[in-house]
């Protein structure tokens, strides 16, 4: 029996976002490998994309799988928030031919990765020191805004709280932000954190700033173009949009530290921060992180980090399977 088909052979890992589907294979006790990234929009659903990925290795039969999905997990039917895909959790094993299938929220997978991250996997923002045994929060802007928390010392062992915190109402910290949120509220009705703190959210901020100052909201560039213009300093609206994005992100990070009691640190993930590059203002982020009135000193002791690991969701899925895979895996 080949290593590809015998029990205890390979496990499938998949990180499915609104824009990209990332796949990998892993064996117990080893690092994930055989990475592939595929465009979500190029496939009608998860199973066709999965079969296309496994088609690179004919005859390989994973014994277990863990999927991280950018969607709320509230029932059997999973519908992606920012993609047209949906699937039945109960039918997934039968449709894929994989005996044991686990489905996690994408930030739930990131939270599982946190205890294994260190050194070059993280870039610290500001001061603060990790408190051993304390909860650790992770959130981040991508196509949407995900939020989760790792609790290392729960009854029965570590656990992860998967949330939909990105859809909580966003508050303003300055008069200028209040004016921008008023404009977004007229446009969207409810202004969640995700409406401003995501890839599309950066474009929303740019458009609202332009409209507030008499410009044309319809001409808001794509997020990548906004970031490039801000880094070059050639577009004042782009510069302000990226600064406001940094400030509001820090404000939400501080909120999460308070809400979760995350003295183990608040970790920022997501592709948008990488895309911003130097346009992400770390000092402004940290200033707003700590700007909580009577709790300023409490927050000053809490560390904040950017996750720089190239594939943190894969690391989290692998760690999850190490703890939760059945004996035959």
* pTM: predicted TM-score of the whole model, two decimal places: 0.89
Nearest to 248 by CA among 194, 207, 208, 302: 194
pLDDT attached to residue 7: 44
CA distances from 10 to 22, 61, 204 (A): 16, 7, 43
| pLDDT surpasses 80 at 82 | no
Helices marked H in 139-222 — which ranges?
Answer: 175-188, 193-196, 199-212
Q: What is the mean pLDDT of residues 116-120?
A: 92
Record the tokens describing residue 107, joined without a space.
């930030």
| pLDDT surpasses 50 at 321 | yes
Beta strands, E only, the chain: 11-16, 20-26, 33-39, 64-69, 77-79, 86-88, 100-105, 122-125, 136-141, 145-151, 159-163, 266-268, 304-307
Q: What are the chain's domains?
A: 11-106+311-324 (3.30.420.40), 118-308 (3.40.367.20)
DSSP symbol at 232: H
Q: What's the chain's average pLDDT?
A: 91
Record the tokens describing residue 118, joined without a space.
């260190």
| pLDDT surpasses 60 at 320 | yes
Nearest to 103 by CA among 84, 81, 76, 83: 76
Query: Quick check: 277 and 227 in contact, CB under 8 A?
Result: yes
Query: Quick check: 135 and 152 in contact, CB under 8 A?
Result: yes
Q: What is the mean pLDDT of residues 57-84?
A: 86
Nearest to 45 by CA among 77, 11, 72: 77
Query: Quick check: 49 and 95 in contact, CB under 8 A?
Result: no
pLDDT attached to residue 83: 77
Residue 64: pLDDT band with limits 50, 70, 90: very high
């Amino acid at each position: 029996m080949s290593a590809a088909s015998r029990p205890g052979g390979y496990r499938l890992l998949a990180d499915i976002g609104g824009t990209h589907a990332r796949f990998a294979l892993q064996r117990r006790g080893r690092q994930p490998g055989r990475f592939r990234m595929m465009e979500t929009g190029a496939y009608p659903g998860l199973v066709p994309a999965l079969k296309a990925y496994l088609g690179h290795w004919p005859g390989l039969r994973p014994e277990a799988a863990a999927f991280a999905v950018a969607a709320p997990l509230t029932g059997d039917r999973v519908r992606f928030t920012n993609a047209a895909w949906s699937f039945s959790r109960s039918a997934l094993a039968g449709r894929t031919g994989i005996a044991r299938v686990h489905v996690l929220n994408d930030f739930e997978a990131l939270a599982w990765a946190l205890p294994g991250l260190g050194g070059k996997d993280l870039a610290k923002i500001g001061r603060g020191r990790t408190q051993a045994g304390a909860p650790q929060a992770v959130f981040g802007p991508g196509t949407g805004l995900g939020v989760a928390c790792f609790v290392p010392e729960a009854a029965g062992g570590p656990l992860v709280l998967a949330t939909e915190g990105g859809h909580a109402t966003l508050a303003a910290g300055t008069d200028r932000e209040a004016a921008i949120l008023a404009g977004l509220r007229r446009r969207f009705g409810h202004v969640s954190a995700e409406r401003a703190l995501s890839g599309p959210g950066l474009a929303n901020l740019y458009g609202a700033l332009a409209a507030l100052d008499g410009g044309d909201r319809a001409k808001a560039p794509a997020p990548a173009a906004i970031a490039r213009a801000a880094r070059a300093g050639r577009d004042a609206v782009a510069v302000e949009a990226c600064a406001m994005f940094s400030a509001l992100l820090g404000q939400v990070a501080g909120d999460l530290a308070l809400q979760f009691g995350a003295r183990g640190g608040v970790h920022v993930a997501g592709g948008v921060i990488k895309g911003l590059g130097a346009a992400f203002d770390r000092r402004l982020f940290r200033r707003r992180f700590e700007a909580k009135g009577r709790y300023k000193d409490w927050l000053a002791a809490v560390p904040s980090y950017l996750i720089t690991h190239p594939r943190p969701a894969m690391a989290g899925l692998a760690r999850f399977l190490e703890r939760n895979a059945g004996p035959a895996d």
